[in-house]
Structure 1
């Protein structure tokens, strides 16, 4: 992907990169996880995860559209919306087929044409909402990295399309969201390692590059090991979800917890290696590290997923659980 679509500093730019969205949509990447019958391209979750890991600081809701919403639309036999779309879940009220309610922290809502809404309740439903409807108001918000996380208020909005779904579909939605953040975090961690290794190889101190100092070598090696652990956990979870394995939830929980937990030592080592320059808003490192910090809290932080891991492991043979035997 062209570097022109990635943030080159940590100055927040909330505008959706429409050029990149159109490019990925034209190539069929947005619909990778949806069948051709609903406008997808019939790829799979691993394909979409590979793309997401490379997007790092790109300003589009690819995770929400391609990994969270598209598979749900495919299962519900609803067509993928045209133009940029995002995803949200929450409790709303339905009156004469019209939707009312408030949805918090919706990624890039201000610049998207459509919203794929997973409605919670006794009978869950999937609804495609036009964000250009007169009954919709959007209040701008952002996460720590400056990415749009908007509040969307719906007042008697008629959905473009609707379909009932199951409680299992709701659980899968949450897992795909957590997986998407784990995959994206692993991709950003890899970019942080590359950026740090490049910097310490070029930065000269006391007459030689920083990378020549043993303590710096050890720090970069430890950072690279942590980033690799993040990537391994995310890949294992992706494959489990792809295969619809019985261990999918546990592996997604482990990946989200691991990537959230490892974000702390990875970013700390990177900023230490960069010195004061790493904290300035003019440097690319900030655009990477703030995303890791922000994504830790989305779709459940490490505490939530560690607790879920404990619940899943309760009553099981721990040796078989760990070894897979």
Structure 2
């Protein structure tokens, strides 16, 4: 970890530890927005990491931002961090300056007709977003654009984690196109990968926190005069969760390293697949270990497990990214073995490479 990255991570950790509470999460689930937390994040520069200073950002790179998102997942931060970072990175790509305001983005197919309202479904944090990026196809052609949310109709909804996932109705759609054609197609692919990589980092943080909760509970809880850690079945649960957490960190590390080199497409897909699979295993075992207390709203376990169940489906679930990888490998000239090992078959014999 570089000195700059360590400084950013320490700052984010302190902010989240001081600002994010169970009460804050409950208030956000009830419809409030964490204004004080957002202001602190804006003042600290956390909302523009990876954006050049010339465009109003604080510099840094994607690895710095993913470190912050990892901590956000660990602390169950109820704010549109990933959505805002994805939006400001996309805007910066087209020369737009970063603003410390809540933003969001949606990827899909959009039909814009004069006199016909445009309905955007499942917009993360749509009710508080100052701008929304739309990417994918616009009127049947690859396109990417932005629009202001001033004066639009919001139909509020939530995902399983209690995060806003709204419908936005634009009666007179006036979207500012940022790009069309091949450039827009590539920018859309990058935005989807940003979403997948960001969610992977956040899920890894949530899994780490779930493991910590399980270890703490097993040490503190007594049954038949002994702590739960003395029971073999409980040891098996903790070992399984710890194994998944280790695999998740390995997958995330590989994805982050590849992203830093600018060659992260396959690694992002692999990480999202592995971490999404781990999310289900970790959540079910954690609730089994905690038993009845873990099913209550008063216990904090659900703040992480509900997010894991939700995030594994966002920006491509395991099936989606597995299909993407399959299509990529089927169209490559090299074999699957050669793609994975980066070694030509002719140089392989008896389990060794020469």
| Aligned-residue RMSD, C-alpha | 2.3
Classify 1:276/1:53 alpha carbon distance in 2 versus 1 (closer, same or farther; 3 Å): same
Instruction: Select which of 69, 80, 99 maps to 1:61.
Output: 80
TM-score normalised per structure 1: 0.90
Stretches of 4+ aligned residues off by more than 6 angstroms: none
Instruction: Select which of 50, 54, 59 maps to 1:33.
Output: 50
Gaps of 5+ in 2: 1-15, 344-354
Confirm whether residue 17 of structure 1 aligns to residue 34 of structure 2.
Answer: yes
Instruction: Select which of 116, 119, 133 maps to 1:102.
Output: 119
Distance in 1 (CA, whole Å) between partners of 2:239 and 2:91 is 42
Gaps of 5+ in 1: none
The within-5 A match list for 1:88-237 is 88-94=106-112, 101-118=118-135, 120-121=137-138, 123-131=141-149, 133-134=150-151, 136-159=152-175, 162-164=177-179, 166=183, 167-237=185-255
Distance in 2 (CA, whole Å) between partners of 1:70 and 1:318 is 36
TM-score normalised per structure 2: 0.83
Confirm whether residue 263 of structure 1 aligns to residue 279 of structure 2.
Answer: yes
Distance in 2 (CA, whole Å) between partners of 1:82 and 1:92 is 27
Instruction: Select which of 245, 249, 266 maps to 1:250.
Output: 266
Q: Residue 81 of structure 1 contacts residue 114 of structure 1 at CA under 8 Å; is this kept in 2?
A: no
Classify 1:95/1:36 alpha carbon distance in 2 versus 1 (closer, same or farther; 3 Å): farther
Q: How many equivalent residue pairs?
A: 318
Q: Greater CA radius of gyration, 1 or 2?
A: 2
Classify 1:86/1:318 alpha carbon distance in 2 versus 1 (closer, same or farther; 3 Å): same
- Report deviation, 1:14: 4.1
Confirm whether residue 292 of structure 1 aligns to residue 308 of structure 2.
Answer: yes
Classify 1:198/1:109 alpha carbon distance in 2 versus 1 (closer, same or farther; 3 Å): same
Classify 1:200/1:278 alpha carbon distance in 2 versus 1 (closer, same or farther; 3 Å): same
**Structure number with higher relative contact order (C-alpha < 8 Å, ≥ 6 residues apart):** 1
Q: Residue 119 of structure 1 contacts residue 127 of structure 1 at CA under 8 Å; is this kept in 2?
A: no
Classify 1:320/1:6 alpha carbon distance in 2 versus 1 (closer, same or farther; 3 Å): farther
Instruction: Give the structure 2 partner of residue 7 of structure 1.
Output: 22
Instruction: Give the structure 2 partner of residue 275 of structure 1.
Output: 291
